[in-house]
Amino acid sequence: MKLPRGKQRTFGSRVLRTLIPRVVGFAAISSALLVGQAMAVTPSSAPIDSVPSVAPVWSAAIQAAHPGCVPSAQWPAGKPASAVIAHRFSDDSTDRIAFGTAWALNHDTSESNDVWVLGVCP
């Protein structure tokens, strides 16, 4: 739309003609991003039925069954261990297993055979 030569636009008119399209574009893009963020689902937000309500802990009974082993919190960091005391959730058992076996169970693709390390044995 051409204005006659003698007519100049006011400052307010120029500001409105510049800002309104940018505000509308910003609102449309922001709305799309917010809707996308709200629709995103992370795997950790899904309910997990297999999470134990009470975590297994080191006890005097475990200490008596496995002399020489200590709770994992008391083991010096960086010192290799030959075996660990691990709790299996699949059969609710606590056993001494080789460190390599525990590592393999916790780092394979299946979560059904993971173990909870309670203690460490030299």
> Two tokens at 2?
């051409």
Q: Which of 116, 114, 83, 77 is nearest to 97 (CA)?
A: 83
In the predicted model, residues of the chain with pLDDT beneath 50 are none
Reported pTM: 0.54
pLDDT given at position 91: 85
The DSSP-derived string for 58-102 is --HHHHHHSTT-EEGGGSPTT---SEEEEEETTTTEEEEEEHHHH
CA distance 26 to 21: 9
The secondary element (H helix, E strand) that includes residue 18 is: helix 11-39
For the chain, which residues make up each domain, given as ranges?
Answer: 11-43, 60-121
pLDDT given at position 77: 86
pLDDT given at position 8: 79
Residue 69 contacts residue 63 (beta carbons within 8 Å): yes
CA distance 68 to 44: 37
